[in-house]
Amino acid sequence: MIPELAWFKSSYSSNEGGECVEVAETPGVVRVRDSKDKSGPQLAFEPAAWEAFVKFAATTEV
């Protein structure tokens, strides 16, 4: 039996549409999905890769 994932919405996501992502952490995998398409595809990252992405995103201007 696969346990239900605990999804968390990004603090940068709004409730007004647009870019909204959710993240769920499991042992060894961080999953990311579009909050508007909960049954759609998910991305899966190793925790170290996700941590590197978050650090990069936090320090890079868009």
Q: Quick one: tokens of 41?
A: 């595809």
Contact indicator for 43, 31 with CB cutoff of 8 Å = yes
Work out whether strand 8-9 and strand 29-34 pair parallel, antiparallel, or are unpaired. Answer: unpaired
Interatomic CA distance for residues 62 and 33, integer angstroms: 21
Interatomic CA distance for residues 30 and 60, integer angstroms: 21
Written as tens digits, the pLDDT of the chain (62 aa) is 456 889 998 776 666 666 788 999 988 999 999 888 888 999 999 999 999 999 998 898 86
Regarding pTM above 0.85, the answer is: no
The letter for the amino acid at 35 is S
